[in-house]
Amino acid sequence: MRVLVIDPDPARAALVAEGLAGGEPSEVRHAPKFDEAEARRFGPDVVVVAADSPDRDTLESLREASQTNPRPVVMFVDRSEPGLAEEAIRAGVAAYVVDGLAAGRVRGILEVAMSRFQLMHQLRQDLAKAKADLASRRTVERAKALLMKERGLDEEAAYRLLRKLSMDTGRNIGAVAADLLAFAGVLKGDGA
Amino acid sequence: MRCGDPLRLGFVPLVDSVALVAAHELGFFEREGLKVALSREVSWATVRDKMAVGALDGAHMLAPLALASTLGVGSDPIPMVAPLALNLNGPAITLSSRLGPALRRGPGADGLAGVMARRRAEGASVLTFAVVYPYSVHAYLLRGWMAQAGIEPDRDLRLMVASPLRMAELLEDGIIEGFCAGEPWNSAAEASGAGRIVAWASQLRDRTPDKVFGVTEAWAAARPDDLSKLVRALQAAAAWLAAPGRVADAARLLSQPAYLGADTALIEPGLADLVAHHGAANAPRSADGAWLASEMIRWGQAPPDTDAAALASRVYRPDLYEAALAA
């Protein structure tokens, strides 16, 4: 089975290819964008496209054109499969099946693509969170140092004060620390 | 959806998404007590599908997309309603610089018709043009513009669909010879030297209807209060934009990478051409919907026995607009 993966993100497409490697023998090709001439040469049975690729509208229109032109019929993966189209859209993928291929055979491909897209999404979120945590820890350290200097507190007391402020205001400690630093700047005349 | 989750609104990076961006950036949603998250989408098919599965609560959308979805043309039927119109005018037709002489004859397509006739006589291949979506006023404007000069769109050219973000590069690569799209993508093609804007919608038709704010019919029925708040916030953003001197401010908002990611100099001409508030532009007029539906029928997209007026009044909902503003 020939699968064309159109995705601006090569990492996600590589994951999809890897995920399909174990199953039915298939040739997976990745393209960052849809090129009609190239696609015709490759002759895919299924086109998997990332929802954040601008080429979805082009792919869909081939179905419209096929009503008058002699070209392969392209269609959204069978919507009669309960929930599949919904899950796929939420995961950020769509699939177009070239005429003559049973929609049932596409299910596996779409499931692999969905799980790989979600994995990638999770990895990105984890990375962003790790970065944010690090930045927040640095802010807390600086706010603590400021409190120790201005209020003559020891480190433990400075941290307790920040935590109390955080609980009183119902906001996380990083945000409270950032506010404290910003206000200290204003009181000293910065940015006012 | 849980209470307290933000409303998710989709937009496609175009100048006419300005009301959503301004309402978000300048606090018009907040003023109505709404929490909103904007979601940048790069294809209309994805907007439609996310609306259908509830991954978006509402969206900036092509008015004919709302009509086609309601009718079940091009997808399963997903009835949509438009309680507010976002803009009239705005789209433009850009032709490739390679067509040089065909460009120099005013806003009509006569020069282009001449080129096509010559190519046909020489047995050359037909030219390819692009529009942003099959069901779009862009498709109807381009087809109508050509038909007036005696070109038969379904015979004399190849019409493809491409994202507005891709138009300039398709023109440069020689894949297409012209397109009709919203701004700033015509101005971008002109700035790159690949093409020239030959006609604006405002030159082709009086008050061309284009984008609406759309939600599904089911969402509108389930969340009438939130819908009213959204309409009021978008109306307030449109009024903000319409005040003198706001084009530069709005262009700065839109130019950010989260929205259009384009130069303000490319954004300003399109913003200036847009009718996004004046002359009761935000009130959804079912006459506009009926015209668009009749174009769908004219070009064979909808069955000839489609009741254009009934479809238009199901989708275009001035009653929801008025109720929101009266509250």
Report in angstroms the alpha-carbon separations of A54 from A139, B18, B159, B268: 39, 20, 18, 24
When mean pLDDT is compared across A51-55, A184-188, B10-14, B164-168, the lowest value belongs to A184-188
Residues in A touching B55 (Cβ below 8 Å): 89-90
Angle subtended at Cα B221 by Cα B216 and Cα B227, rounded to the nearest 5 degrees: 75
Q: Which of residues 155-174 of B touch A (CB under 8 A)?
A: 160-163, 165-166
* The pLDDT value given to residue B94: 95
- Of the candidates A54, A64, A86, which has its C-beta nearest B74's C-beta? A64
Listed by number, the residues of chain A in 18-77 with a beta carbon closer than 8 Å to a beta carbon of chain B are 33, 51-61, 63-65, 68, 76
CATH assignment of A2-124, among 3.40.50, 3.40.190, 3.30.300, 1.20.1440: 3.40.190
Q: How many CB pairs under 8 A join A and B?
A: 65
pTM of the predicted model as reported, rounded to 2 decimal places = 0.84
List, in order, residues 6 or more apart from B86 with CB less than 8 Å away: B16, B17, B19, B60, B210, B211, B212, B213, B234, B238, B276, B282
How near does any CA of chain A get to the CA of B43, in Å? 5
The verdict on B132 touching A (C-beta cutoff 8 Å) is yes
ipTM of the complex: 0.85
Quick check: A68 pLDDT over 70? Answer: no
For residue B139, the distance in angstroms to the closest alpha carbon of chain A comes to 12
Nearest to A64 among B134, B163, B166 (CB): B134
Residues of chain A with CATH 3.40.190: 2-124
Give A132-171 pLDDT, tens digit per residue: 888 889 999 999 999 999 889 999 999 999 999 998 988 8
Given a cut of 60, whether residue B133 has pLDDT beyond it is yes
Task: Please judge whether A89 and B133 are an interchain contact, meaning their C-beta atoms are less than 8 angstroms apart.
Answer: no
pLDDT at residue B230, as a whole number: 98
| Fold exhibited by the domain A128-187 | Arc Repressor Mutant, subunit A (1.10.10)
Name which of A116-125, A147-156, B117-126, B250-259 the model is least confident about.
A116-125
Any chain A CB within 8 A of the CB of B239?
no
State whether residue B306 sits within 8 Å of chain A by CB.
Answer: no
CATH class of B7-89+209-326: alpha beta
Q: Do B160 and A60 touch (CB under 8 A)?
A: no
Residues of B in contact with A53 (CB under 8 A): 42-43
Please report which confidence band the pLDDT of residue A89 belongs to, taking 50, 70 and 90 as the band edges: confident
B152: which chain A residues are within 8 Å (Cβ-Cβ)? Answer: none
Between residues A43 and B79, which one has the greater pLDDT? B79
Alpha-helix residue ranges (DSSP H) falling in B208-282: 217-222, 224-242, 246-255, 264-273
Q: Chain A contact for B319, CB < 8 A?
A: no
From B50's Cα to the closest Cα of chain A, the distance in A is: 7
- Domains B7-89+209-326 and B92-204 alike in fold: yes
Task: Locate the chain A residue with the closest alpha carbon to B166.
Answer: A54
From-to residues of CATH 1.10.10.10 in chain A:
128-187
Is residue A192 very low, low, confident or very high in pLDDT (cuts 50, 70, 90)?
very low
Q: Which of A186-190, B118-122, B188-192, B231-235 has the lowest mean pLDDT?
A: A186-190
- What are B127's two structure tokens? 């030219």
Looking at CATH, the fold of the domain delimited by B92-204 is given as D-Maltodextrin-Binding Protein; domain 2 (3.40.190)
Task: With CB atoms and an 8 Å threshold, state whether B134 touches A79.
Answer: no
Determine, for residues B76 and A53 on separate chains, whether the beta-carbon distance falls below 8 Å: no
Mean pLDDT on B204-217: 95
pLDDT at B2: 45
Q: Is any Cβ of chain A less than 8 angstroms from the Cβ of B42? A: yes
Q: Which of A57, A64, A68 sits opposite B43 (nearest CB)?
A: A57
pLDDT by residue (tens digit) across A102-113?
A: 667 777 888 888
Scanning B5-130, the segments in alpha helix (DSSP H) are 18-25, 28-31, 44-53, 63-71, 100-103, 110-122
Give residue limits of the domains in chain B: 7-89+209-326, 92-204
Nearest in space to B205 (alpha carbons), one of B138, B300, B277? B138
pLDDT at B1: 46
Confirm or reject contact between A167 and chain B (CB < 8 A): no
Q: DSSP letter for A47, please.
A: E
> Which residues from chain A sit within 8 angstroms of residue B74, using beta carbons?
60, 63-64
Write a three-state SS string for A81-102.
CCCHHHHHHHHCEEEEEECCCC
Retrieve residue B291's tokens. 């015209």
